[in-house]
Every structure is written in structure tokens, then in C-alpha cells.
Amino acid sequence: MANPYSKLELWQRVYVNRSLNMDRIKSIGFDMDHTLLMYNREAFESLAFRETLKKFILAGYPSELADLTFKPDFLIRGLLVDRERGNVLKVDGHKYVKTAFHGSKKIDRDTRHELYNGESFKAQDFLSVDTFFALSEVQLFLEIVDYMDLHPGKIDKNYREVYDDLRKFIDLSHADGSIKNVVMADPSKYICKDKHLATSIMRLLDGGKTLFLLTNSGWDYTNCMMSYILDGENEDFPSWRDYFDYTIVAAGKPAFFTGSSPFLEVMTDSGLLKSHSGNLVRHRIYQSGSANLFQKLTGFRGDEILYVGDHIFGDIMISKGKLNWRTLLVVEELEHELEQLEILKPLFNDIQKNINARESLDEDMQIIRSNLMAVKRHLHSSIRAHDAKKVHHLEKERDKYVDKLSERMPILEELDIKINELLQQKESAIHSMWGELMKVGLERSRFAYQVEGFACIYTSRVSNLRFYSPQKVFSSFHDILPHDP
């Protein structure tokens, strides 16, 4: 029988790192931002960029900074920021820095090697760009780095101090409402509705799952955004709150997964908080709390919970690592990347063809090299034995092999250049500066390693779940060993 999922577009599929039997999952939790709630990223990130920039100028930074421009496509997730040097890096799974920029300028290969690849690389010294929210933050940092290089002395701080200010101003922009009030006033400008979301969630409810919302956003913002995407989408469930048995706002992830804070109840009419003890009451709204307490109060074991989020560390690595929750990572970028990769298929075939040609040439050259070594050995012993006839014959043999090698050498070099060119062509078709999210050349990126290690399954958007049964067994082929028949 044909695979029923082969009809799906690549970006609509769910990918499996670790086998997951959905029948054993009793409860499914969702993060909100960039998980259920999809942003018009360009509109939202440029708002965050501008609002944060205003705070820089208010704090006494040069007013010329107002001319800095937001570039929506400059960065991708999964990069690391070197706040000391004003650099941003793409690292492979072996912590080898493969691409680096200082401000908006690419760092050449030799400098990059000297700075990062000479000694063991400590990823913890750098800031990881894990969320979409961080993209505009880091781009603003790089813009200011460029400004500082161009106008020395105009900002009397080092890069690190500027970054600390940036963090402060962003937190302030979130706290004083200068970002979220604008979004709440006009959600249609900043949020992309997914018309299949309600159906997808209903399918999980019909499959007998208990659903919960677990977000770091506060009550007023959560209520406004969730109403915008779900209210009235299904006649049985007029309000978004009807879908979720439990809603936890301002949860304070990742500490939610490691701490032991009690839950507070949100009085939804006034927004005030009340202390809470005893069981969680369905459809009421809670704040803070902790995962351990949540499990105790709801009776779900860690491996009976599937948590769906977009933050590789705050949602996925920590919930799986600390509590053994099963995890679904939403990787929004896959939608664009998998569409591109489909278009680039002929290029892939070309790359593979050249890699195969290189391998067989390499093999061929190895055999010639071994033969050459043997001939040289025989030649030496013949010289020692003064066997002139044999020496003459072996010298001819030796020269033949040397010629063969030198004929093949330029072909090998040409193939190397060709493969590199094709790989670069493939990478820049996906992103002109950083290439694929999960790859660096032929290797996996650091982000890909994290996904592989911690996300049981991953997909580009939550509504892709509608294509799969809520009892589906997602099977992984990762455990197949290279020597398995």
C-alpha cells in the first residue's frame, strides 16, 4: 500500500527523531508565541527594532542611530553572538565556526580560523539566537557595531556594554507595552491566522487528549492573541478557552521546568492575581507555577505529556531533559527551506554525482599510490642487487604511475572546486549569507544537533498535525545501525 503521507508536501510532514506513540500521550501542551500564534515576522520584528532604537536615543546614544534600518532577512536562528567582539557566527555540530560576520561585514577565512578555530570552542561563552524575537535584537546590535566602527568615539562603550543596554531596552519595550500594545491594537497587521489551526486542535481533542496552554506571555496579551486566532473558528467552541483544559500564562519558562513555584490564579475580569492551593480547576487561568506541580495536580506522568514549542532550549531541551516530556518542535523556517530544496533537487543530484565521481577517482588514486610505493620498494632492492635490467624496467613502471597520478590530480582539484561551488550555490539559494538552518555545507549545524538530540518530532507548523491520526505511531529510523541488514 502506498504511504499515505507521500502525498503531503515536504513542509507539511512531521519528521521523527525518536519514535513516539501518540496513543500513549494523554496530554498535549502548547507554547503560544511562534507556536500557535504565527507572526507576520517582518512587521513585528521591525516594530521591535524601532521601539528599542527609540530607547537607545532616549538614553543618550547619538540621535543619528535613528537612521539605522531593519533588515528582515539578515539573520537566521541557530547563530551564536560574540558580544565581546561584535560578531555573529554559524557553527557546525562539532563546534567549528564555518561562517562569521563582524557587524554586517563577512570575516575572512584566516581571521575566522585565528579567532575561533585554534582552540576548543566554548559555545556557552556566546549567546544563542534561539527565537525569532532575538533576530531583530541581534540585527540592531550589528547595526550599532557598524556605526561604532565607522564613528569611533561617538559611543563611549564597548560592544559588550552596548549589548547589555540593548537587552535592558528590549525588556523595557516589552514591559512598558510599547510593543505589545501596538500589536494588540491591530493584530491583523502583526499576526498571520492559520485557517487550519482550529480543525487541527479539534482533532486532538476528538482523539481524547487533554490540552493545555503554557506560555511566558502575560494574561492580557495571551487573551487578546488567542481570541484573535481561535474565537468563533468552531461553532462548538466559541471561545479559545474552550479548547484548553488548563491555561498557564507568564509561566517563566525555562524556570517553570526546573523550579517549584506555586500556581497563582488570574482573576480574568480584573487581571489581579490570587494565591492558589489544591487542584487546578479546568478552564480557569493560572500564572507561574512549575512543571512538577503541574504533573502532581493533573496526574500526568512526564512521558504522557507532549509539549509543542518553537524554542529549542526554553521549550524543548529543558522539558525533555529535566522531566522526560515528549517534545514537538515547530521549525517555521522549514516551510520556506523545504520548498526551496524541492526546487533545488536537480542541483542536489549534480552535487551527489560530483561527490560520487570524486570518491571513485580518489579510490583509483589510492590504488595507483600503493602500486607506486611497491614499485619504489622493488626498485631500491634491485639497485642494491645491481640488477640493471630490472632497475630499468622498474624505473619505467615508476614513471608510468607518477604520470598517472599527475594526470588525475588536476581532475580531483577541479571536482573539489566544483563541489564547493555547487554547495555554495545551494546554500545561497536558501539564504544568501547563512545557508540552511540545519546544515553547514555537507555537515549538520549546531542547531540541527540540538533538534536531533531533543525534539522527538518536528514540523513547520502546528496545523500539520491535522494530517496525522491522534493515535499515530511516529517511527524513527535513527536507531538503525550502519551494519544493520
Nearer of residues 173 and 222 to Mg ion, judged by Cβ: 222
CA-based radius of gyration for the chain: 28
Q: Which residue is nearest to Mg ion (CB)?
A: 33
Asked if residues 398 and 373 have their Cβ atoms less than 8 Å apart, the reply is no
Nearer of residues 10 and 184 to Mg ion, judged by Cβ: 184
Closest contact distance (angstroms) between CB of 35 and Mg ion is 5
DSSP strand pairing (27-30 vs 263-266):
unpaired
By three-state DSSP, how is residue 140 classified? helix
Asked if residues 419 and 354 have their Cβ atoms less than 8 Å apart, the reply is yes
Nearer of residues 65 and 255 to Mg ion, judged by Cβ: 255
Closest contact distance (angstroms) between CB of 33 and Mg ion is 4
- Which residues, other chains included, contact 446 with Cβ-Cβ below 8 Å and sequence gap of 6+? 78, 80, 91, 92, 93, 95, 123
Closest contact distance (angstroms) between CB of 133 and Mg ion is 8
Nearer of residues 68 and 127 to Mg ion, judged by Cβ: 127
Nearer of residues 104 and 258 to Mg ion, judged by Cβ: 258
Closest contact distance (angstroms) between CB of 10 and Mg ion is 23
Please name which of 191, 259, 189, 176 lies closest in space to residue 222, comparing C-alpha atoms: 191
Cα–Cα dist 34/311, whole Å: 9
Closest contact distance (angstroms) between CB of 131 and Mg ion is 7
Interface with Mg ion (CB under 5 A): 31, 33-34, 310
Cα 470 to Cα 210, 230, 304: the distances in Å are: 12, 20, 13
Cα–Cα dist 288/282, whole Å: 16
Closest contact distance (angstroms) between CB of 484 and Mg ion is 37
Nearer of residues 30 and 126 to Mg ion, judged by Cβ: 30
Cα–Cα dist 314/32, whole Å: 13
Closest contact distance (angstroms) between CB of 137 and Mg ion is 15
Q: DSSP code of 157?
A: S
Nearer of residues 254 and 289 to Mg ion, judged by Cβ: 254
